[in-house]
Structures are given as C-alpha cells and as structure tokens.
Amino acid sequence: MKLTFPFSFALLFSATGLAQAATVWSLSDPNVTAVNFTQPTPGIGHEVAPGIILNRDNRRGLYNSATEGIFSFLNSPGGTRWAFASNNAVGASIEATNHTNLTFGVWADSLGGAGNLQTNILAGPAVLHLTGDDIYLDIQFTAWDRAVSDGGQAGFTLTRASAPVPEPSSSLLATIASAFLLSRRKRR
C-alpha cells in the first residue's frame, strides 16, 4: 500500500501527539529562580507557572493562591504533587530527572504530616509536579519561618528550576529568513 504525502504527514503528526512526554525543569539547567518571601502578600505569592502561585498564611503550609483561599492539609497547594525524601525510599535520588522513580503526594503528607513540616521541609531537595501541565521541577526550601502570631504572613525562601529558554530551531530560523527575504523582494 502506497501512502500519499498528505496522509503520511497527518499520520506522523497524530502519532506524535499521542506520545507526549513529561517536561522536566532541572536545577542542573542554567535557569534557576531564587525566591525570598519574608512577608508574602495574601493572594499574590510566587508564580511557578500559570495557575500555580505558591503562598503561605500565618501559621501553616503552602497553598495555591490562584485556586485556593487558604491552606488545606487535604489537598494544598492545588494543582501540585510533591516528592520529598520523607515520602520516598532511603537513598532515592530526589531530582526531577528521576521523577518516574519517585512517590508523589499532597504537600503536607509528603513531608510526613503536620508535626514534621518545619523539620522535613529544610531537610533536602524536593521535586514539584505541576499536574495540569505534567511538569516536574527541582525545588529546595532554604528557609521556613515559624508561625506568626500577629496575623501576618509567615515567610519562606526557596530555590527552584525554571522553564528552560528554548533555542530557536534551524527550521524556525530558515522560515524567518525566508519571510524576511520575501518581504524585501515585494518592496522592490
């Protein structure tokens, strides 16, 4: 059976759409974001990706201020799952590049529950899974403020991998060059 060009081209594109792989943002990439929220602003927070804004209230954990108004032990931050050393096998490499071998869960559970948040969050690296976009990224908390009794926001500091800046492909550059040359010819 001979396939015509349009049919085989469409088949190629439909097949590639089925095999979407997860995206990984690694700290080994040059794209790192450091955040220090000593006084996070209610409803603002740190935007990791569209729809995921990490924030913290005065005494508990992180929540997604894009979709949640306050932290909940059951599911906060919404749209995320976490892998810390405390919810993975001893010796597991806690890195985004190793996401297929890690166990992910809700933020508080992944840290070992309410009594362990302060201790375990600073114990080592973590991997954050942005479930809606299937992105795995390296993240490390370097400071976690104790509860604030005056009703203010408790702070946190973190370092995380950011989206790699894509380099333009040679085909994209060729298309841009062709468009430029065509526009110059039309002016003459």
**pLDDT at 33 > cutoff 50:** yes
Q: Where are the domains of the chain?
A: 19-166
If one compares 114 and 121, the residue with the highest pLDDT of the two is: 121
Over residues 44-66, the mean pLDDT reads 83
Q: Which two tokens stand for residue 30?
A: 């040059």
pTM for this predicted structure? 0.72
Model confidence pLDDT, tens digit, residues 4-16: 434 333 333 344 4
Distance CA 47, CA 132 (A): 15
pLDDT at 70: 86
pLDDT at 4: 43
**pLDDT at 172 > cutoff 70:** no
Alpha-helical regions (H) of the chain:
5-18, 107-110, 117-121, 170-187
SS3 100: helix
**pLDDT at 131 > cutoff 90:** yes
**pLDDT at 136 > cutoff 90:** yes
